[in-house]
């Protein structure tokens, strides 16, 4: 059973469509995290819905192609359909994010904790996101992954939280998890938090 199947069981959701938007700057590890969410049995995969889709099979030495535009992954558990929107973090595609805010039930925001120089850009994108009219009025849960914790220059999830001023988010449930998406570390902990907040 994949992590998304487990999440559906925890949430007690039945016959519902759950839309999860995965955003963050380019090269933060969004696609790698989504690959970790895939059910271990790939027969549940419904296939790509966008022409920009680039599917990379699960292998030990996985090579991830940067997302162009967006990718869509669909998973079905026994009674739940998950749609995960993996949005490109490249600057020219970030304006696409807002087209998916209205229909989202949860947001995953991925940060490269080893790239302190771009933390200011991540903070700015988060600020724009939180002030968008489709997000500002929603109590949508925000899960932050402080990713790439295996890198030598990585800062702690507490430091990432401080750099992004997450303590200023008062009107939405949020949580930050340290993660190493390549190894799958910290991914389940984030989904454990989501169980009570979607």
**CA dist., res. 22 & res. 93, Å (int):** 13
Region 78-86: mean pLDDT is 65
Q: How many CA atoms lie within 13 A of 15 on its CB side?
A: 0
Please report the pLDDT score of residue 193 as a whole number.
84
**CA dist., res. 22 & res. 96, Å (int):** 12
Region 117-141: mean pLDDT is 93
**CA dist., res. 159 & res. 133, Å (int):** 28
Model confidence band, residue 58 (pLDDT cutoffs 50, 70, 90): very low
Lowest mean pLDDT among 27-36, 73-82, 111-120, 189-198: 73-82
Q: Give the DSSP per-residue string, 37-88.
A: HS-SSGGG-----STT-------SS--PPPPSSEEEEEEE-SSEEEEEEEE-
**CA dist., res. 45 & res. 61, Å (int):** 21
pLDDT of residue 46 exceeding 60, the answer is no
Q: What is the CATH class of 3-194? A: alpha beta
Please report the pLDDT score of residue 188 as a whole number.
84
Please report the pLDDT score of residue 176 as a whole number.
97
Model confidence band, residue 52 (pLDDT cutoffs 50, 70, 90): very low
Model confidence band, residue 156 (pLDDT cutoffs 50, 70, 90): very high
Please report the pLDDT score of residue 71 as a whole number.
77
């Amino acid at each position: 059973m994949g992590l998304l199947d487990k999440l559906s069981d925890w949430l007690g959701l039945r016959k519902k469509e759950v839309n999860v938007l995965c955003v963050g700057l380019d090269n933060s590890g969004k696609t790698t995290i989504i690959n970790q969410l895939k059910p271990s049995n790939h027969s549940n995969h419904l296939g790509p819905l966008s022409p920009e889709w680039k599917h990379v099979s699960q292998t030990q030495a996985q090579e991830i192609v940067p997302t162009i535009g967006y990718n869509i992954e669909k998973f079905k558990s026994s009674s739940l359909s998950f749609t995960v929107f993996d949005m490109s973090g490249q600057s020219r595609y970030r304006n696409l994010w807002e087209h998916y805010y209205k229909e989202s039930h949860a947001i995953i925001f991925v940060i490269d904790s080893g790239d302190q120089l771009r933390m200011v850009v991540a903070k700015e994108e988060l600020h724009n996101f939180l002030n968008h009219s489709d997000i500002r009025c929603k109590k949508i849960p925000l899960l932050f992954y402080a990713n790439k914790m295996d890198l030598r220059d990585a800062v702690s999830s507490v430091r990432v939280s401080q750099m992004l001023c997450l303590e200023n988010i008062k009107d939405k449930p949020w949580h930050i998890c340290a993660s190493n998406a390549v190894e799958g570390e910290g991914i389940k902990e984030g989904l454990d938090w989501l169980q009570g907040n979607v």
